Chain A
Amino acid sequence: MRLEVRVFSGLEKFMPGARFGQAIEVERPEGTTVAGLVDSLGIPRSQVFTVLVNGRHAAMDAVLQPGDRVSLFPPVGGG
């Protein structure tokens, strides 16, 4: 299935060629979870503070659906 992935705020550094917030199309087997996607992208899970799927928070064990838009954020917590 095809997924649309965006990485934000510094997570770009874990994905060669990724640009801030720009959609990257990836192909993954049916049944792929959020955690499985993050692992396959080479991003350490500990660095991913929140995952939004179609604009809503998703848990690491959530199963992704074809066409899902997945956004990954680190903790942007400084003040």
Chain B
Amino acid sequence: MQGLTREQRERYQRNILLPGVGSEGQEKLLRSRVLVVGTGGLGSPVAYYLAAAGVGYLGLVDADVVDLSNLQRQILHRTGDVGRPKVESARDKLVALNPDVQVEVFLERLSAAGALSLIEGYDIVVDCTDNFATRFLLNETCLRLGKPFIYGGVLAFAGQVMTVVPGAGPCLRCIFPHEPDPHVPGCAELGVLGAVPGVIGTIQATEAIKYLLGLGDLLVGRLLTYDALSMTFLEVSVGRDPGCPACSQEMR
């Protein structure tokens, strides 16, 4: 790494000014690799803020194509993108925003077979998925690899976020051991206010950058819950479950 160019110094000036960042931190971001799994309501703000901040390598995983009903909240995609793969639509916007960023796209659903080799190549994973089966796969794979991941979820007017750092606190399955009852309504039935994943995804992006730069305190062992109606953030302290189906075995 040759240091920052003049243009980069200007682009990232507001980052560089921050205590604990500086040119060194910015160069670190430019060398960092983040995997964003899901490019919908959460993945849009996550990927956009990471690209804007100059995270040098972004991997995007999503098998879906853009649907008209996505555009109420999935702010990376536009009306003209309807029918296109989300990862390609997302890549166009991210590269246009910041040509420093290399975006690798995976037009696929994360599979048990492929997760390990995919995640291995990244520093951190941001969970922007819409189902717990994929989250559990991310959780278990990240535990195996010792990689941190950042859970985010939304429902109607509510959202949650927590950072899982293997060995440092509870994993996702310490608090959510089983998949939800398939008959319980989700966002497809109950709806979701578009700005809610915006709030949660922005927090996830903030956590990812903090982790990459070693700044501040992460949401480890702290489930941050958000309710838009009462406009309340509440932190719920959570501990490891000695009977956890995922980390009680991995840590042994």
- Identify the A interface with B (CB < 8 A): 8-10, 19-21, 46-47, 49-50, 52, 55-57, 71, 73-79
Give complex CA distance A45, B128 in Å.
27
Residues of A near B81 (CB, < 8 A) are none
Query: B92-100, B112-120, B205-213, B232-240: which one contacts chain A?
Result: B232-240
Q: Are B38 and A9 in contact (CB under 8 A)?
A: no
B176, B186, B192, B230: the one contacting A50 at CB < 8 Å is B176
Q: How far is the CA of A8 from the CA of B177 in the complex (A)?
A: 18
Interface string of B206-228 (1 = CB under 8 A from A): 00000000000000000001010
In contact, B183 and A75 (Cβ under 8 angstroms): no
Interface size class of B (residues with CB under 8 A): 35 or more
By the criterion CB–CB under 8 Å, are A21 and B232 in contact? yes
B130 and A49 form a contact (CB under 8 A) = no
Contact present for A78 and B175 (CB under 8 Å): no
Cα–Cα, bound, A74→B237 (Å): 17
B interface residues, Cβ below 8 angstroms from A: 38, 40-43, 127-132, 135, 152-160, 174-177, 180-181, 183-184, 186-187, 190, 192, 197, 225, 227, 229-230, 232, 234, 236-241, 244
In the complex, 10 of the A-B residue pairs with CB atoms within 8 angstroms, ordered by the A residue number, are: A9-B225, A10-B157, A21-B232, A55-B236, A55-B238, A78-B41, A78-B154, A79-B38, A79-B129, A79-B154
**Complexed CA–CA distance, A19 and B232 (Å):** 10
Q: A78 → chain B, closest Cβ, in Å?
A: 3
Q: Which of B130, B175, B177 is within 8 Å of A79, CB to CB?
A: B130
A56–B129 CA distance with the chains assembled, in angstroms: 24
- Does A76 contact B175, Cβ atoms closer than 8 Å? no
Question: Contacts A79-B42, A79-B197 known; A10 to B190 CB distance under 8 Å?
Answer: yes
- Among B127, B159, B181, B183, the most chain A Cβ lie within 10 Å of the Cβ of B181
Contacts of A55 in B (CB 8 A): 236-239
Please state if B154 and A52 are interface contacts (CB–CB under 8 Å).
no
Q: Given contacts A20-B232, A21-B232, list 8 more A-B pairs with CB under 8 A.
A: A8-B227, A20-B158, A56-B174, A57-B174, A76-B159, A78-B197, A79-B131, A79-B154
Please indicate the chain B residues that have their CB under 8 angstroms from the CB of A49 in the complex: 176, 180, 184
Shortest B229–chain A CB gap in Å is 7
In the assembled complex, which residues on chain B have CB atoms less than 8 Å from the CB atom of A78? 41, 130, 153-155, 186-187, 192, 197
